[in-house]
Amino acid sequence: MNSDSNMLLEVRDLRVRFRVDKKNSVEAVKCISFSVPRNSTVALVGESGSGKSVSSLAVMGLLPPETTMIDPQSKLVFDGRDLLSMAPAERRALCGKEISMIFQEPMSSLNPVFTVGYQIGEVLRRHMGMNARQARARTLDLLGEVGIPDPARKIDAYPSQMSGGQQQRVMIAMAIACEPKLLIADEPTTALDVTIQKQIMDLLASLQRKREMSVLFITHDLGLVGEIADRVIVMRHGEVREEGEARQVLDDPQDSYTRALLHCRPKLDQRPIRLPVIDDYIAGRAAPSIDIPQRTRGYAPGDTNVLEVRNLSKSFWFREGLFGKREFRAVKDVSFTLPRGKTLGVVGESGSGKTTVGLTLLRLHKATGGTAMFEGRDLVSMSDRDYMAYKRRIQIIFQNPYASLNPRFTVGQILMEPMRIHAIGANDAERQREAMRLLDRVGLPAQVFHRYPHEFSGGQRQRIAIARCLTMKPEILVCDESVSALDVSVQAQVLNLLQDLQDEFGMSYIFISHDLSVVKYMADQVMVMHQGSVVEMANSDELYRNPQHAYTKTLLERDEPRGV
């Protein structure tokens, strides 16, 4: 193939198949072609399962060889070199230095037994030939560059001591450490709040200009790419549906699927009864958003509280020196009420304490102080034995489905295990029927019942985690960034499902999120947290219409629609 000298990466006729068993295989990428010019940013956009991440992993040479078949006619050319014909050692050296990748899920990529400073430094020592002192100094600069607070302290922290957003920023620092020619960013801002998301997008754009680096930006959010991408490629079901200059695709999309992606995301200025999903929009079943009746939200004087939290506090202690220790107050005297059948939205930046509130209520962290009264009983102070009766009634959908799903269990086992423990269903046949019904409700086919978590994308794993939680039919559900990893269509499907369950069963939600448009759709009351404290709380409509605190105003300004 004759390579265009202006093109840094050329993908031609890429076909990727995965072996399911000895006789069957699945085609994940179906003869796609695209190019990434030098000194430019190309966005690869599509829902979970569209093939966008598989395409990038094929470029990096990270697809498992024992189950992957790449068509011999496929071409991957980087800077004039054929990647598919390189020796393994040569390709590893190239992909470590000249091509780098920010992975979607930091906790599955960061080593939990090494400090973040050591892990970033290892990249610099291996590929840049730096000694330990030089690597540490450069690592401090990189941590500051990606917005990690107090880099001198965080450099010696372990991944588990950082929030999800901070972990992702560490991954970004690691990826840009060697100043690569091509940076592949696979959903790099999915788990980040709006403030850090903008910071990272600005950082990537700045690095792209400063280093004359090319970026292949992979995302499910079309609205996000307007501020960074020169070209946009829209994928669905392993095929390219639309390609063009970013401004043209965003302003005048030609494909119905592209239009649906732009249409289906919740908006700050609207609250429809139901959110449209991709298939409905393409089929013409979704009415224009301006014609959908608005849902009224808010706490009312006659509401019956199912949970009353007063002065909830949580501190963590860290070693300092040989014998000293330092207190970090993650949650500071937080108080709120949660009525039956209503939703409390909890918003704030990474590290604000919002997730710690949820984990402390479920006794996954031991509270330092305060009370949480549920039907006259204090969840914080009761014994472990007494709390067993409440475990089924208060459930949590975790932020990270990679860490919360047992890799040794099939999806069926994951869903049926809690039902067996809590004696839900008369027998396994009944439990299996319930599991199948829940899989259908979260948008997964029945065939996934016998498959394992590693066979699914991040968004699909999150849907499995949500289905598992719903097997308990809880009265209070803590949703900790439960839709942050989902593409817009599945996000709409899950939010509609959560709303249906609340309407049907009177469930109460504590909905933790950094996405203010999603919180606007779901929440009756919104609690804004900053550095462990509540800075503002009000009914949803009132807070979005007339925020009082300067921090709330800043969050809302940063969550304004971008690039569309």
pLDDT (tens digit, 9 = 90+) per residue, 494-533? 888 888 888 888 899 999 988 888 898 899 999 999 999 9
- Mapped onto helix, strand or coil, the DSSP state of residue 63 is coil
pLDDT at 315: 94
User: Which string of b and e fits 448-475 if b means at least 16 CB within 10 Å?
Assistant: bbebbbeebbbbbbbbbbbbbbbbbbbb
pLDDT at 311: 97
User: Which string of b and e fits 279-312 if b means at least 16 CB within 10 Å?
Assistant: ebbeeeebeeeeebeeeebebeeeeeebbebbeb
Higher pLDDT, 202 or 380: 380
User: Are both 347 and 228 inside the same structural domain?
Assistant: no
The gap from C-alpha 116 to its chain's centroid, in whole angstroms, comes to: 20
- For residues 351 and 330, what is the distance between their CA atoms, to the nearest angstrom? 8
What is the average per-residue pLDDT within 110-117? 94
Examine the fold and report which residue of 219, 241, 263 is the final residue of a domain before the chain moves on.
263
Reply yes or no on whether the pLDDT at 562 is more than 70. Answer: no
Reply yes or no on whether the pLDDT at 127 is more than 50. Answer: yes
- 236, 258 in Cβ contact below 8 A? no
Distances (CA, A) of 64 to 58, 205, 343, 530: 10, 31, 43, 42
User: Are both 396 and 256 inside the same structural domain?
Assistant: no
User: Are both 195 and 99 inside the same structural domain?
Assistant: yes
533-539 and 525-530 as β-strands: parallel, antiparallel, unpaired? antiparallel
User: Are both 233 and 358 inside the same structural domain?
Assistant: no
Signed CA dihedral, 196, 147, 246, 61: sign only: negative
Q: Is residue 170 part of a domain?
A: yes
- For residues 49 and 211, what is the distance between their CA atoms, to the nearest angstrom? 32
pLDDT at 272: 75
User: Are both 220 and 358 inside the same structural domain?
Assistant: no
- For residues 396 and 477, what is the distance between their CA atoms, to the nearest angstrom? 6
User: Are both 349 and 227 inside the same structural domain?
Assistant: no
pLDDT at 291: 44
User: Are both 54 and 194 inside the same structural domain?
Assistant: yes
Q: Is residue 31 part of a domain?
A: no
Q: What percent of the chain has pLDDT over 70?
A: 93
Mean pLDDT score across all residues of the chain: 87
Q: Is residue 377 part of a domain?
A: no
Reply yes or no on whether the pLDDT at 563 is more than 50. Answer: no
Ranges of beta strands (E only) in 3-144 are: 7-19, 25-37, 41-45, 68-70, 75-78, 81-82, 99-102
Query: Which 8-state DSSP code applies to residue 184?
Result: E
394-397 and 343-347 as β-strands: parallel, antiparallel, unpaired? unpaired
Q: Is residue 384 part of a domain?
A: no
- Range picked from 261-265, 275-279, 344-348 for highest mean pLDDT: 344-348
- For residues 399 and 164, what is the distance between their CA atoms, to the nearest angstrom? 9
Q: Is residue 317 part of a domain?
A: no
- For residues 206 and 181, what is the distance between their CA atoms, to the nearest angstrom? 14
Domain count, the chain: 2
pLDDT at 103: 82
Higher pLDDT, 51 or 194: 51
Residues 6+ apart with CB under 8 A from 489: 47, 260, 261, 264, 277, 278, 279
Distances (CA, A) of 96 to 66, 83, 122, 399: 22, 13, 11, 29
**Closest residue by Cα to residue 312 from 329, 282, 333:** 333
Q: Is residue 277 part of a domain?
A: no
> Which DSSP helix (H) or strand (E) runs through 55?
helix 52-60
What is the average per-residue pLDDT within 215-241? 89
User: Are both 352 and 233 inside the same structural domain?
Assistant: no
Q: What percent of the chain has pLDDT over 90?
A: 50
What is the average per-residue pLDDT within 66-70? 91
pLDDT at 4: 64
- Tokens for 114? 């090494």
Examine the fold and report which residue of 228, 263, 298 is the final residue of a domain before the chain moves on.
263
How are strands ordered across the β-sheet holding 377-378?
324-339, 305-320, 369-374, 377-378
User: Are both 348 and 258 inside the same structural domain?
Assistant: no
- 439, 447 in Cβ contact below 8 A? no
Please report which confidence band the pLDDT of residue 168 belongs to, taking 50, 70 and 90 as the band edges.
confident
User: Are both 141 and 54 inside the same structural domain?
Assistant: yes
Phi, psi of 414 (to 5 degrees): -60, -40
> Which DSSP helix (H) or strand (E) runs through 171?
helix 164-176
**Closest residue by Cα to residue 202 from 218, 188, 219:** 188
pLDDT at 293: 52
Reply yes or no on whether the pLDDT at 271 is more than 80. Answer: no
- For residues 423 and 224, what is the distance between their CA atoms, to the nearest angstrom? 45
Mind giving me the DSSP string for 278-347? HHHHHTT-SPPGGGSPBPP----TTPPEEEEEEEEEEEEEEEETTTEEEEEEEEEEEEEEEETT-EEEEE
The CATH number assigned to the domain holding 467 equals 3.40.50.300
Long-range (24+ apart) CB contacts under 8 A made by 23-26 are 25/69
- 367, 314 in Cβ contact below 8 A? yes
What is the average per-residue pLDDT within 355-379? 94
Reply yes or no on whether the pLDDT at 192 is more than 80. Answer: no
pTM of the prediction?
0.77
- For residues 117 and 156, what is the distance between their CA atoms, to the nearest angstrom? 6
User: Which string of b and e fits 47-77 if b means at least 16 CB within 10 Å?
Assistant: bbbbbbbbbbbbbbbebeeeebebeeebbbb
Distances (CA, A) of 23 to 18, 19, 64, 509, 535: 11, 8, 18, 46, 59
pLDDT at 564: 43
Reply yes or no on whether the pLDDT at 47 is more than 90. Answer: no
Q: Give the tens place of pLDDT for each residue, 286-307.
A: 544 444 455 678 898 889 999 9
CA angle 246, 249, 251 (to 5 degrees): 100
Reply yes or no on whether the pLDDT at 41 is more than 90. Answer: yes
- 422, 436 in Cβ contact below 8 A? no
User: Are both 547 and 411 inside the same structural domain?
Assistant: yes
Examine the fold and report which residue of 244, 263, 282 is the final residue of a domain before the chain moves on.
263
Q: Is residue 386 part of a domain?
A: no
Distances (CA, A) of 60 to 28, 103, 384: 16, 11, 48
User: Are both 96 and 210 inside the same structural domain?
Assistant: yes
- For residues 344 and 414, what is the distance between their CA atoms, to the nearest angstrom? 28
**Closest residue by Cα to residue 182 from 325, 391, 40:** 40
- Mapped onto helix, strand or coil, the DSSP state of residue 252 is coil
Ranges of beta strands (E only) in 391-450 are: 394-397
Q: Is residue 141 part of a domain?
A: yes
Domain extent for 437: 342-362+391-558
Query: Which 8-state DSSP code applies to residue 272?
Result: B
Amino acid at 507: M
- For residues 400 and 383, what is the distance between their CA atoms, to the nearest angstrom? 28
Phi, psi of 245 (to 5 degrees): -60, 140
